[in-house]
Structures are given as C-alpha cells and as structure tokens.
Amino acid sequence: MAPGQLRLAADIGGTFTDIAVFDDKTGALTFGKALSTPSHLVEGISAGVAKAGSDYRAAALFLHGSTVAINTMLERTGAKAALLITEGFRDIYEIGRINRPDAYNLFFQKHVPLIERALRFEVTERMLADGEIDTPLDDAEIAALGNELERRGVEAAAILFLNCYANADHERRAKAILEKNHPALFVSASHELSQEYREFERCATVAANAYIGPKVRRYIGEIDAHMRAAGFAGSFLVVQSTGGLYEADQAQSQCVRMLESGPAAGVIGTQALCRALKIDNAIAFDMGGTTAKAGVIYRGEALTTGAALIGGYERALPVQIAMMDIFEVSAGGGSIARVDDGALRLGPQSAGASPGPACYGLGGTEPTVTDANLVLGRLGADRFLGGEMKLDAASAERALKSRIGDPLGLSAVEAADGILRIATTAMSYAVKGVTTERGFDAGDFVLFAYGGAGPLHAVEVAREIGMRKVIVPPAPGVFSASGMLFSDLRYDFVRTWFTSLDDAPFDDMEEVYRALERQGRDAIAGTSVKPQRIEIKRAADMRYVGQEHAVTVDLPMTVFARKDRKAIKRHFDAMHAQRYGTSAPEEHAEVVSLRSTVTGLMRKPPQAKLARGRRTPPKAAFGGKRPVYYAGRFHSTPTYRRAALLAGNRIKGPALIEEYASTTVLMPGDALDVDQFGNLVIAVAGGR
C-alpha cells in the first residue's frame, strides 16, 4: 500500500477493541477485532490493526474513540486533584442543587465529589456577573497555593472562579502561574470548557476534567508515541462526545469532551445510514461487552444536549458540555448475573476482556449474558469471531448451574433464559430513556442494532417496546469504529446572554454568534486536516419568563437574516411542547444562552452496494441447523452466513444470521430482507 492513503479508526471497549480501515483511493473497507488489553490498551489497537491487514505507516489519519475517560470517572480511578475556587464558595461542589430525585427512598445517597473537601482551596478574588472586577486576583496567593499543592502530592488542579464566564482574566492568570511554576501539574480552567452560567455545573465539569486529565493525557500520549515509533506520520484525531473530531493535543487538555466518544461514533454512523436509506427517525442501539447504549436520530439529525449527568440520575455529577444525547444501562455481553436475596440480578459488574465470560476459557467463572446466549444455542461455540475463538459451552453451563440454577432451583437452560429476559427489560430502558422520556413515541422510530451483542437481542428489545422495524448494518460488531469514518471536525461553543426575546437586539446577538463562529473557524484552521467545507449551525437556550430551566432550540439561519422574533418564538414553543407536552404561545420568552456549532465537513466513505439475488438465499449462505431455545424448548433452527447473502434475499424466522463478530437472531414470525446496501431489514412480529 502507498503511504498515507488510509484512514484507521479504533474503538476501545471494555471487552473488545474494534478497528476499521478505509482506503481513500480504492474505497476498500476492512475490519479487525481483538480482545482489549486493559493493562496496556495500545496493544489491543495494534493487534486489531494487524488483523485488519494494515499497519500505521500506510495511514494518513488515525481516528480514535475510547471509554477510558468515562470509565476513569465512574470507577473513581482518577488523579489526586485539587480545586481552586472563589472565597466563600468552597462547598458549592458538594452542596450541588440540594435535589432529592427519589423522595421516598430511605437509602438515597448524595453524589460523592471527585475532589475531597481537604483539597478545595478558597482564593481571594471576585468577578461580578457583568465582568467587572470587584476583588483583584493576588498572583502571590496563587503561587503559594501551587507550592502547597506540590507539597501534598496533587497531580491535577481545577480552577473555578465565580462569574468567569463573563470575564475569564482571573482564571487565565491563575492557570498561567501554576503551569509556569509546576510544569508537571495538570491544570484545567473552567472557562476553557464552558462559558455558561450555573456555578455548580461548571465546577463539576472542570473538576471532572482535572480528575481524569492525567490518566487520559498519559493514555493518548502512549498511543501517539507507539504509532509514531511504528512509522505513523499522519494526523491523530479523537472523537468527542458530540461525534465530532478534535486534535489529540486538544483531547489531552480538554479530556472531558471525550467522555462518550465511542458511543457517539455509533450514532454518527447510524445518522449516515439513515441519510442513505431516507429514514428520518431512528434509535441507535449499541450493545457491547459491558453496557447497552441508545441515541436518537430525529428528523435526520443526531440529537445532542448541552449537559449530562454522568453516573445515573440519583448520585450523578453533571458535566456541562455539548454531547450526544445518549442513555446507557449496565447490560452487555459480559454483564455478570448473580443471585441476590433470592432474586436473579444482572450487572453492573462486567467480566470484561479479562477474565471474560466463563465460555471464553480465560479464567472467568461468573455467568454472563454471553454464556446464556451460548447455552441457549444463539451463539455457535465453533463460530465465534469467525471461528478464531472457540467457546467452552461446558464451562458456561457449569457457571450458570452452580451460580444461578442451584440457588434458585433451576436448570442451566432455565437460568440462561431468565438472564436474557432480564437483559431485554434492562436494555429496553435505554431505548425508553431517549424516546419516551424525551417526549417521543418509540413506535415511530426504526431500531438500528449494532455492537457485538446488539443484533442478538434487538428484535426482543423492539418487541418489548412496540417497535416495528429493526435494521442491522453490515459489520455491526465493529460499527462504532466504522462510524468514526463518517465523523467531521466539530467545535461547539456557548455563551450565556440573558435578554428578553421581545427586546433582543439582533445586531448584538449577531455579534456574539460571529465571535463564537470565529473561534470555531480558527480552531479548524489550526488543525492538520483540511475539510472540504465549513458548516455553521445556531441554537439558543430559551425559557418562558419566570421559568428556571431552559430548553435548547435549533434555529435556522433564515430567522437571523430576516430578524424574525416571531419565528424564533414559534420554534421555542414547538420544542417546549415536544419536550414537556405543553407550550404557552401567549407567554413572553427570554434567551438564556447562545450556541454555535462549527463543523468542518470531511470526505465520507461511499455506501457500497451488494450484488442482487433472488428471494431465496443462495445455497452457499445456508450454514446448517442447530438447536436454539425459545418458547420454552429447543427448536431445530436454520443458520445463514451473512457474507454469502445477496440483496433481495428474504429469510423468515426463526433463524440465525452469523458473521465474523456478531449474530442476528430472528424469532418466529419475524421476516428479514437484505437491502441494496447489505443491511438486514427486519419486520418484527407483534410490532405496532
């Protein structure tokens, strides 16, 4: 291969590392999949690249998504971090919003801050809400605090000064002093991540960035050094939580922007497929080894949010950055089943890649969802990963019988069936979390299923919530990695700007938007990648006068060209009605914040078409029959090789469609058609 003509994309999950390789000249797309290597993650990447028949020297771009940032936060394995905060506000990070989401739960526990109180230091300074300085910053005080942090062995410092979104001068100076005096210290200032009001949310965001920063910086640096040593001379880009790309150097300082990088890439890939198939509304459903995740495509666009709660609503810490609107549950192929107080439970613990499910034969002894699928015949022991990895059915059965069956008086098969029922219900919550809870009817959406385990469970999840159609894209086991190939350079900016909509001066509003967009254009110009063109989108956070919380409203550029306040109000009323089921067209509205997204559009891989065949699949596609458990007993069920299927082929359930890194399950009554792009389009029996 000629050097510099490939794009490599790597998605590191809790169990597997997925690689997609796209050749810009020939249009060829190849894949590799290897077990993740938690102790040294770059080894899993290299193994996957080798399996895809490629190497680093031939790549012009390396695109990367990873769960390392969010796992560091959720598992509390980050750095020893300190917080520098305006005098008198030391405890806002711990006090939070004083909300109690579950009012009648006697065992409710408040969020636990990532930075302990002993490492939160008050700084004598004060900025007013209009950006005027009330109390100047004392540089000597910051220098003394830096020495104290070094004495205490602090690895990272977060800086949050009150009202710095209006004037960031104090934060900039404090960061510069700390970095100059302590080069090894990871320093993060809140204005670099968020220029919105709400001190608690900004505080939690910068604290999270500092907490995960040293680990993420080392991790990205190791990958970069390893690839450069192996001959890589191209650009290293990381997927943000929005699905957009940014430079690895930026990711090493603004680490919190990559919290949902892997899942976001899958949603971007789903959006690209929706455009090719002319589908407006879809759910991107990704089930891997550790979790199941769902995102939304609505009217052709992937839905994002300006803030998210990381770690579940009850004990979560907010992160106030733009990110894909994704709901996640602890139900993956490696999720461990257990008996707790006489009841069958699933997750959140996962067997991961090491030791892995019992059937992997790598030392795991706990029963998992993958073990259940194997015992019920949904997975072929000799066909996993195209036969590269033999599964141990006897070990899976022993784990299910001893850990679940015996305590509950069930056979291994009954235990496995119970585990999959619980998994289906848990995964349906992820889909409901991005549809029903957002004011959508799940039945109006198409379910795109991917991830190594997604197609195994998709039709049952769809049936559980009344969805009619499931689509399984080509190579679903590495879909998030291939989704990165459809990502663009993207920068999201927001600035708090309180004003009544009735009195909003369009010239001032335009000035703010243009300033944000200049930042985006400058950021894209500063990268090593030259996009085909730049696209700008605008939005505003709005609320009715008297409300506390706002909703984000996408605004077409035409409303600004026409200076049309009534059109802005109509867009806001419609969004409020969609989100909350009600609106108040006669009430006055106000603008809270202005948002701008600047995207550098990159060339996308073409959608390859599949050869046309007849209604009946070719004989080469038939893979024999094996017993599969459903409806209370084992049935002899046909299997098909997906690689041999042709466009126009139809398969009626029950059936299994097997491929390198995944298996699609059809239940009785389901019907599958292969479309022109090779997608498996499934009509779900019993769907509304």
pLDDT confidence bin for 2, thresholds 50/70/90 = very low
User: What is the pTM for the complete model shown?
Assistant: 0.87
Burial class (CB in 10 A: 0-12, 13-18, 19+), 382: exposed
Task: Give the tens place of pLDDT for each residue, 561-617.
Answer: 999 999 999 999 999 998 888 999 999 999 999 999 999 998 888 888 899 999 999
Q: What is the pLDDT of residue 371?
A: 95
pLDDT confidence bin for 110, thresholds 50/70/90 = confident
Q: What is the pLDDT of residue 636?
A: 95
CA distance 251 to 237: 9
**Would you give the DSSP letter of residue 511?**
H
Q: Does the pLDDT value for residue 688 go beyond 60?
A: no
Nearest to 212 by CA among 40, 14, 41, 69: 69
Q: What is the pLDDT of residue 434?
A: 83
% of the chain beyond a pLDDT of 70? 97
Task: Give the tens place of pLDDT for each residue, 520-529.
Answer: 999 999 888 8
pLDDT confidence bin for 124, thresholds 50/70/90 = very high
Q: What are the start-end ranges of the H helices in 231-334? A: 248-251, 261-277
Q: What is the pLDDT of residue 394?
A: 94
Q: Does the pLDDT value for residue 108 go beyond 70?
A: no
Nearest to 268 by CA among 245, 302, 300: 302
Compute the average pLDDT of residues 315-325.
Answer: 84
- Which residue bears the tokens 């979390």? 433
Q: What is the pLDDT of residue 312?
A: 60
Task: Give the tens place of pLDDT for each residue, 634-665.
Answer: 999 999 999 999 999 999 989 999 998 899 99
pLDDT confidence bin for 216, thresholds 50/70/90 = very high
For 211, phi and psi rounded to 5 degrees?
Answer: -65, -45
Q: Does the pLDDT value for residue 313 go beyond 60?
A: no
Task: Give the tens place of pLDDT for each residue, 437-474.
Answer: 777 888 899 999 998 899 999 999 999 999 999 999 99
Catalogue all structural domains in the chain, each as residue range(s) with its CATH number: 6-73+218-255 (3.30.420.40), 77-215 (3.40.1360), 335-421 (no CATH), 488-601 (3.30.1490)
pLDDT confidence bin for 102, thresholds 50/70/90 = low
For residue 527, how many other CB atoms are within 10 A of its CB?
Answer: 18
Q: Does the pLDDT value for residue 201 go beyond 70?
A: yes
Two structure tokens written together for 298? 């609505």
Burial class (CB in 10 A: 0-12, 13-18, 19+), 112: exposed
Stronger pLDDT, 264 or 313, i.e. the higher one:
264
Q: What is the pLDDT of residue 25?
A: 81
Q: Does the pLDDT value for residue 101 go beyond 80?
A: no
Q: Does the pLDDT value for residue 311 go beyond 80?
A: no
Instruction: Choose the weakest-confidence range: 194-203, 343-352, 594-603.
Output: 343-352
Task: Give the tens place of pLDDT for each residue, 40-75.
Answer: 888 889 999 998 888 899 898 999 988 788 878 877
Q: Does the pLDDT value for residue 515 go beyond 50?
A: yes
Q: Does the pLDDT value for residue 223 go beyond 90?
A: yes
Q: Give the chain's length.
A: 688
For residue 580, how many other CB atoms are within 10 A of its CB?
Answer: 10
